A and B are shown apart, each in its own frame.
Chain A
Amino acid sequence: MTRMARRTRRSRHRMAAAVAATLGAALVAGCADDGGGGAAERAGSDGRTTLTVGLFGTFGFQEAGLYEEYERLNPGIAIEQTVVERNENYYPQLLTRLASDSGLADVQAVEVGNIAEVTATQADKFVDLGERPDVDPGDWFDWKWQQGTTADGKTIALGTDIGPMAICYRKDHFEAAGLPTDRAEVSRLWAGDWRKYLDTGKRFMADGPDDVAWVDSAGGLYSAAIASAESRYYDADGDIVYQDNPDVRAAWDIATTAAEEGMTARQEQFTPPWDKAMNNGTFATLSCPAWMLGYIQDKGGEQSEGLWDVADAPRPGNWGGSFLGVPESAPHKEEAAKFVAWLTAPEQQATLFEERGSFPSSPSSYDTPTVADATHDYFGEAPIGEIFARAAEGIPTQHIGPKDQIIAENIGRSGVRQVEQKGLSPDEAWDEAVKAVENALGR
């Protein structure tokens, strides 16, 4: 009995020791595990420096083969990216990590809606890219360069693409509605005025297929309309003026009219149901900045190939576009800065456009054959280089403020979408939107 008991005790000892050891090991492992270390260590095993790239949405660097090319040109470098689809989820994460100086990728993308806030509040967290010998400010549109530069001249992020807008439309649905399908004729339908675009929509809703809407979403239409306005939420002095700005109201009226008239497919952009609607072709037009083409191709899939085409937007505008910056606390600052300079140079921007349709922010590339002669086979060989270059030259210079993103989101969501989804009148919805914006802005 005694021996039995002792043996039990000893084995229990051993078990307990094992438990304690595991706990200790687990804790140590937990504590030792470095932020982002997982990815870095895995790639680091073959002796290369791994540059991490944090992105949102669809940049397409990887798909365009630019990482591979850079890795080929720089044998010691490996590149890995992480992508969050929606910028509204990506951006708080970025701020979080900037605030804590940890968990940052070597290269971080910033969307145009946030760039003003980043330059205003986070400039000291980023490496100055403006003074590098391998970076020439003349390669960019001046407004694009300035957006990534602080008041005292530190350039914290370089422009990648811009989002000159066009309208993507479904030729099959246009034909069914008795509308022209040729892109020049289609462009003429609404040239110069978003109202004409709505008028065409009314014709389409009357004569087109029953289960097909004119436009995907009121929110998307609003984004497009405000993008082509002369100004948006801030005035030239940097004051918030969205409530009284006639440009905002004009864009608002366009979007809410479409919603009220039932011309939208009532989708929310960049969600799985929207993807499915695109796949099933339940809407005829979509305001498409250049970067949207890749998205449509991915989500639309094979069965929609050749059905889409690209026409001019009623008015030129810029929707989206991004910047790349290198955080001060990035593990490989110098390599990353060099990589960003290369990635945003005109040649690579042109390649990205050629492969993925993201339009260069570098006007000097527009005359190169890569851009000027570009067509897109998924979109019926549309001459997208010509179309988007035309749009890019006409982009109005808007003042972007720190809270642009949040204002836009709340006007879109609490305002426009309430007309579309919940049947509020535009006036009621505007009041809701103002309340939501003010609540979001108030500290």
Chain B
Amino acid sequence: MRETTTTGTDGAGAAPRDAGARDAAAPRPARSHGAPSPAAGGAGRGRAGAAPAPSAAEERRRARRSRRYRRDVRWSPYAFVAPFFLVFGAFGLFPLLYTGWASLHRVSLTAPTDMEWAGLGNFTRLLGDEFFWNALGNTFSIGVLATVPQLLMALGLAHVMNYRLRGSTFFRVTMLAPYATSVAAATLVFVMLYGRDYGMINWALGAVGVDPVDWQNGTLSSQFAISTIVIWRWTGYNTLIYLAAMQAVPRDLYESAALDGASRWQQFTHVTIPSLRPTILFTVVVSTIGAMQLFGEPLLFSPGGSPAGGVDHQYQTLGLYLYEQGWVNLHLGRASAIAWAMFLILLLIAVVAAVVARRLRKSQ
């Protein structure tokens, strides 16, 4: 689901690249391993009893301390990462692999521990499963409808907000109100606004002479409506991300551009956008992952909260299809196969993003 990854936005674009580079450059003083070095002695000034001629007892104590010290240095890193990897292994990695295992079986929700080997049956079945392809297509089209306008608007808004403004904090905070609204609350409201017979949006359209739209039942209309919920919730957040990145653009770049006679618009396209590329790429990736996992909005968009995604499955996303297979049709094995298919698709997207990122870096 979207929440889980969106916070990832702040991980910010350049991260993996920087990671390696910085490590290589980071000083690695030799003294971090083993016995006190001369430098350490220097740093230890002011400690009581740092006598030039240590007694035998002192010597032993020092040896003991140094042993303990070595052990500590050696093992503490593992201790620090252990809690994370233990919990993560138990509740992240293991389920991931087990889902793969379950996807090779027939498993019914009526008896979830009773598994029957099915080989790749669930996967070959997906290849010919028009409901799966439909859900994939919907996920893609809702993803595009939700992500592209969202990020473009966020970019434009960030530019506007990058001017010196009165009350900028107020605008920034109100922009975040949708982000603080939950999927459930937001969707329940939008469903009412988009009601076919009594919704405010159709009433407003009627007031300007447009025929009421059957938001639920049309393919494009329902996907558009769901996209607007996503857009509403995330545009403000992404605006702040872009705004932060814009404020980090060195000012002299603009000054020299201005000296070259560039208009404000040219400055925006020739200075701002290129400087923001890593951030933009990263928000695209994160939004894509979020779109891939879209679940709550389309689930609650159907008036009964059904995972079918409309009479024609016209807004059934992969997340919903997985839920329907597992928890309505009771086929947990098939649901697992859908989960793994989603994972593989995300991996593909990640690889593409990595390639694009590399190209981008080379071109700079």
Q: Which residues of A line the B interface, CB within 8 A?
A: 86, 88-89, 92, 95-96, 99, 117, 121-122, 268, 270-274, 276-277, 282, 406, 413-414, 417-418, 421-422, 432, 435-436, 439-443
Contacts and interface: CB of A to CB of B under 8 A. Distances in A.
B328 A88 contact: yes
A95 B109 contact: yes
Contact of B305 (A86, A406, A417): A86
A417 B302 CA distance: 14
A99 B306 contact: no
Contacts of A440: 328-329
A270 B304 CA distance: 7
Query: Which residue, of A92, A270, A432, A436, has the highest number of chain B Cβ atoms within 10 A?
Result: A92
B110 A95 contact: yes
Contact of B333 (A282, A417, A421, A443): A443
A221 to B, nearest CB: 15
28 contacts: A86-B304, A86-B306, A92-B327, A92-B328, A92-B330, A95-B110, A95-B330, A99-B112, A121-B108, A270-B304, A271-B303, A274-B303, A276-B197, A406-B328, A413-B306, A413-B308, A414-B311, A417-B311, A418-B312, A421-B214, A421-B217, A422-B311, A435-B130, A436-B131, A441-B329, A443-B108, A443-B333, A443-B334
Q: Which of A88, A121, A273, A435 has the largest number of chain B CB atoms within 10 A?
A: A273
A121 B112 CA distance: 12
A418 B311 contact: yes
B106 to A, nearest CB: 5
B218 to A, nearest CB: 9
Interface in B103-124: 106, 108-112
Interface in B72-122: 106, 108-112
A435 B328 CA distance: 16
A293 B184 CA distance: 31
Contacts of A271: 303-304
B83 to A, nearest CB: 12
A88 B306 contact: yes
B198 A88 contact: no
B331 interface: yes
A421 B304 contact: no
B110 A121 contact: yes
A99 B110 contact: yes
A210 to B, nearest CB: 15
Contacts of B304: 86, 88-89, 268, 270-271
B129 interface: yes
Contacts of A406: 328-329
A439 B108 CA distance: 14
A231 B109 CA distance: 28
A247 to B, nearest CB: 23
B198 A273 contact: yes
Given A99-B112, A439-B131, A413 B311 contact: yes
Given A439-B129, A439-B131, A273 B111 contact: no
A443 B325 CA distance: 9
B196 interface: yes
B347 to A, nearest CB: 26
Nearest to B107: A443
A276 B192 CA distance: 11
Contacts of B313: 414
Contacts of A441: 329
Contacts of A422: 217, 311-312
A205 B138 CA distance: 37
B314 to A, nearest CB: 8
Nearest to A89: B305
Interface string B303-344: 111101001110000000000000111110110000000000
Given A96-B109, A99-B109, A271-B304, A276 B198 contact: yes
Contacts of A268: 303-304
Given A418-B311, A422-B312, A92 B109 contact: yes
Contacts of A274: 303
A187 to B, nearest CB: 31
Nearest to A86: B304
B296 interface: no
B168 to A, nearest CB: 32
A92 B306 CA distance: 12
Contacts of B192: 272
A435 B130 CA distance: 9
Contacts of B328: 88, 92, 406, 440
B105 to A, nearest CB: 10
A251 B127 CA distance: 34
B119 to A, nearest CB: 13
Contact of B311 (A272, A273, A421, A439): A421
B195 interface: yes
